[in-house]
Amino acid sequence: MKLVVVGGVAGGLSFAARMRRLDESAEIVVFEKGPYPSFSNCGLPFYVGQEIPARESLLLNTPQSLQAKLNLDVRVNHEVIGLDAEAKTVRVCGADGREFTEGYDKLILSPGAKAARPPIAGLDSLRVRTLRTVNDAQRIVDLAESARSALVIGGGFIGIEAAEALARRGINTTIVEGGAHVMPPLDLEMAHLVTGALQSLNITVIANTRVTQIRDFPAHVLAELSDGQCLETELIVLAAGAIPATEPFVAAGVRADERGYLEIDQHGRTSLPDVFACGDAVTQQTGVTGMARPVALAGPTNRAARLIADFIADPKSARPLPKPISTSIFRVGPMTVAQTGANRAELDAQGIAYRTIHTHPTDHGTFLPGAQPMQLMLHFAAADGKLLGAQGIGGNGVDKRIDVIATAIKAGLTAPDLIDLDLAYAPPYSAAKDPVNFLGYVAENVLRGRLKLWYAEEVAHLDPGTPVLDVRPIPEFNAGHLKGARCIPLTELRSRLDEVRTWVDGKTVYLSDDTGANAWTAQRILESAGINAKVLSGGVNTVFAYYFDNPGAVLEM
């Protein structure tokens, strides 16, 4: 059996390596468009930022080592430019520029994606670079040696990591993001905290703005923005999203969506016989909402490539490709940002009824010095509590909490099931009530109707006559509270119930504090006294994050 693989790196080479271990007799040919068949894409920003000192550290395998270890015929600088599915051949442009055809029994497409190129005049300037290959990274490093300022177009994963890398080199760096906030997959309050973390690294963030023109000068370029600003810079990193590198395969009849992402079934098969696909160039049905969309993450790509090899080797026993839940993580300075499952936009688009909770735990017990705060947000189904998604930001421990929730989502657990997870505890690592367990406590109270919540997005739209009660100590209240709020510290609430009853006059009390924990106790006190009350999810801390651009609109500080 002859297997032709289009593209190396995570998808193509994971397939080829697995296939070789399953079938020693197979002929496996890998065509890689670039010079490096196996390198760490994810490590590129860290090389730019000088955390990886040597470019060679990014290179994992060579054609020679892959031939020696796995008997793979890896041909670099070979681009597949055509496909004839009926003849079962691909057309290839070789390293010498000459074209030839190669036959196959099975064809595996892992062509990846390329940087999107928005319609910006002057985008062809030599000072504009992408960050998707080793050579891309080297070109940025070369320009960065003499750059005093840099502009990053796009505030997604690559844009943020590139911006941090440039800032680490002492370069004044600005991110221009066309959307409402950086990291569009994050919900608003979490994304705003990412903006704050970027600003703490002296990175300027300009959202809701686009680069409209780039004007070239001998020693710099001038970027004109849609808001009228003009930024002079010596280096621009283009990170405004990606598009699949699938043109020749779509032209050959592989079914794709309107953007060119290839459609595959549960075993990686495309619409053409004996043609499979995986990686950044395909859509997959996600595990939470069932939406079909690209999931450009290394983990799902590696797993899919392995399972396609299993299916080709033994179709009867192969497991289907898992439905990804899009677990991801990145760093901004000392902060870790992670997410899993669906965000609000996905849930709303699918019409899924859900509830959201916010908590503000620390990574370990506060009695042990060095405890670091984090903010966690959890989405779960309104009807049965099924886990739908989570996001977190903070110092130590965010990664393991999101990983635990990702595992719980995969297992089909509900939010209250988080209470029963038997997680490791010792004071340097956690609290006796782990932040994941605590999310379960809060969610169960919500689902049982004990805890009634209101949210940061409601703050700006409250009726002026709504009674808002802050239950923090007066010094904390004075440091920053919701406009129009009255302060009655929690420790005084029981003795001042008559005062509250007269003030609210039968209305529901909207409670607030710093994180929601004390307001929850206050709600129980008030409802025991016959006074309806709601708790601000995540407290004033979450309100500040939600209204990060203009907290003064809703807070008196």
Give this prediction's pTM.
0.95
Q: Which residue's structure tokens are 């595959």?
A: 264
Average pLDDT of 487-501? 98
Kind and range of the H or E run holding 342: none
Joined together, the tokens standing for residue 407 give 């595992």
Average pLDDT of 519-543? 98
Please name each of the domains of the chain with its CATH number: 2-41+51-112+243-313 (3.50.50.60), 128-240 (3.50.50.60), 334-447 (3.50.50.60), 453-556 (3.40.250.10)
What percent of the chain clears pLDDT 90, i.e. is strictly above it? 98
For the chain, what is the mean pLDDT? 96
Task: Flag whether pLDDT at 557 surpasses 90.
Answer: no
The closest alpha carbon to 308, from 271, 244, 272, 265, belongs to 265
Q: Report CA dihedral (462, 464, 469, 475) to the nearest 10 degrees.
A: 100
Residues 231, 239: Cα–Cα separation, whole Å: 17
For 162, which DSSP code?
Answer: H
pLDDT tens profile 182-205:
999 999 999 999 999 999 999 999
What is the reported pLDDT for 84? 98
What is the reported pLDDT for 551? 95
pLDDT tens profile 46-87:
999 999 999 999 998 999 999 999 999 999 999 999 999 999
Q: How confident is the model at residue 421 (pLDDT cuts 50, 70, 90)?
A: very high
What is the reported pLDDT for 238? 98
Is 463 in a helix, a strand, or coil?
A: coil
Task: Flag whether pLDDT at 475 surpasses 90.
Answer: yes
Task: Flag whether pLDDT at 404 surpasses 90.
Answer: yes
Joined together, the tokens standing for residue 286 give 């996600």
Count of CA atoms in the C-beta half-sphere (13 A) of 353: 5
Task: Flag whether pLDDT at 260 surpasses 90.
Answer: yes
Joined together, the tokens standing for residue 532 give 């309806």
Kind and range of the H or E run holding 528: helix 517-528
What is the reported pLDDT for 72? 97
Average pLDDT of 485-492? 98
Q: How confident is the model at residue 11 (pLDDT cuts 50, 70, 90)?
A: very high
Average pLDDT of 437-462? 97
Q: Taken in order 415, 418, 419, 420, is the CA torsion positive or negative?
A: positive
Task: Flag whether pLDDT at 143 surpasses 90.
Answer: yes
